[in-house]
């Protein structure tokens, strides 16, 4: 039995954790919890993650059997477990910027902007109110994508001088932008597209995309 087991839904934010697991090279198991089928709401899965969200990471080692939730926590845990993979910068400024990016992406961009656009009924009821919520979400997401694009200008990766977990998380939003939010991505955000092409060219990333059976664009 592998010590690490990831619970993921194809194309969800768990994609960043899946990529990170593949990048570190430690053997792991991965179980599909397809959100569209309601698999994240079954009693079995709620016993694993009572929040009913993916990703969740089961960690069985050191005589313990634990579950870690929250994508940011999972990314930092995996990167720290395998420092040789260099998935977070070694210096303290690079680490600080990594945590800053992960926090902003997970909260403002994902849980506020994207979620308001995709699931307005979780914030308001009635068609008019839901349309307002979705529009407010869009007013968060589009400037966020523009900021990501501007910050990538002249850079190969978002933080430090090598691929990190931040770049893996950025791929999730790039995919959602086109696929789920139906926004043009390549033309308005050419720097974002350029760096995501580099991310997608990594063998570990290509392998995970194939395993999840998803397309990026
Ligand atoms: N705060 C959590 C949020 C994770 C999250 O929202 N995951 C989504 C998929 S991208 C999910 O499981 N959604 C299921 C639902 O909302 O019912 C984290 O950062 O891990």
- Is 172 within the bounds of a domain? yes
Is 64 in the same domain as 115?
A: no
* Half-sphere CA count of 81, side-chain side, radius 13 A: 17
Parent domain of 33: 4-85
How many domains does one find in the chain? 2
* Probe residue for ligand 1, chosen from 8, 35, 41, 53 as the CB with the greatest number of ligand atoms within 8 Å: 53
- Is 33 within the bounds of a domain? yes
> What separation in Å is there between the alpha carbon of 124 and the centre of ligand 1?
19
| CA pair distance 133, 131, nearest whole angstrom | 5
Nearest CA to ligand 1 atom 20: 70
Show which of 32, 62, 85 is a domain's final residue. 85
Surface-to-core class of residue 13, CB atoms within 10 Å of its CB (0-12 exposed, 13-18 middle, 19+ buried): buried
Is 79 in the same domain as 96?
A: no
Is 35 in the same domain as 134?
A: no
pLDDT at 198: 98
Is 98 in the same domain as 195?
A: yes
Is 96 in the same domain as 184?
A: yes
Sheet of 56-61, strands arranged across: 28-32, 4-8, 56-61, 64-69
Placement of tokens 């994207």 in the chain = 114
Angle between helices 127-152 and 165-179 (to 10 degrees): 130
Is 32 in the same domain as 77?
A: yes
pLDDT at 2: 87
Is 78 in the same domain as 37?
A: yes
* Half-sphere CA count of 140, side-chain side, radius 13 A: 20
Is 116 in the same domain as 152?
A: yes
pLDDT at 175: 98
Q: Which residue pairs, CB below 8 angstroms and at least 24 apart, start in 203-206?
A: 204/19, 204/22, 204/23, 205/19, 205/22, 205/23, 205/168, 205/171
Nearest CA to ligand 1 atom 9: 12
Per-position pLDDT tens, the chain of length 217 = 889 999 999 999 999 999 999 999 999 999 999 999 999 999 999 999 999 999 999 999 989 999 999 999 999 999 999 999 999 999 999 999 999 999 999 999 999 999 999 999 999 999 999 999 999 999 999 999 999 999 999 999 999 999 999 999 999 999 999 999 999 999 999 999 999 999 999 999 999 999 999 999 9
Is 112 in the same domain as 191?
A: yes
- Is 23 within the bounds of a domain? yes
> Which residues approach ligand 1 with their CB closer than 6 A?
12-13, 35, 40, 52-54, 70-71, 106
Report the candidate in 163, 198, 208, 175 with the shortest Cα–Cα distance to residue 18.
Answer: 208
Report the candidate in 58, 95, 89, 86 with the shortest Cα–Cα distance to residue 202.
Answer: 86
Nearest CA to ligand 1 atom 13: 53
Kindly report the CATH number assigned to the domain that includes residue 187: 1.20.1050.10
Show which of 61, 85, 109 is a domain's final residue. 85
* Probe residue for ligand 1, chosen from 13, 38, 51 as the CB with the greatest number of ligand atoms within 8 Å: 13
Kindly state the tokens that stand for 151: 């910050």
Show which of 66, 85, 104 is a domain's final residue. 85
CA 179 to chain CA centroid, nearest Å: 15
- Is 187 within the bounds of a domain? yes
Kindly report the CATH number assigned to the domain that includes residue 63: 3.40.30.10
């Amino acid at each position: 039995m592998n010590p690490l087991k990831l619970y993921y839904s194809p194309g969800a934010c768990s994609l960043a954790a899946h990529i990170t697991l593949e990048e570190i090279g430690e053997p792991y198991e991965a179980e599909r919890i397809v959100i569209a089928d309601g698999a994240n709401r079954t009693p079995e899965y709620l016993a694993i993650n009572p929040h009913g969200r993916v990703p969740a990471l089961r960690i069985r080692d050191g005589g313990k059997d634990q579950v870690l939730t929250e994508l940011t926590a999972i990314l930092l845990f995996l990167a720290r477990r395998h420092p040789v993979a260099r998935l977070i910068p070694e210096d303290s400024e690079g680490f600080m910027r990594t945590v800053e990016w992960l926090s902003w992406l997970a909260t403002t961009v994902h849980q506020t902007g994207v979620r308001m656009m995709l699931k307005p009924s979780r914030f308001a009821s009635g068609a008019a109110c839901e349309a307002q919520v979705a529009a407010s979400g869009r007013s968060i997401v589009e400037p966020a994508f523009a900021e990501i694009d501007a910050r990538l200008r002249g850079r190969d990766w978002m933080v430090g001088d090598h691929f990190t977990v931040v770049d893996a998380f950025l791929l999730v939003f790039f995919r959602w932008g086109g696929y789920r939010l139906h926004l043009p991505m390549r033309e308005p955000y050419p720097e974002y597209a350029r760096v995501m092409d580099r991310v997608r060219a990594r063998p570990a990333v290509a392998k995970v995309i194939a395993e999840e059976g998803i397309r990026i664009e």
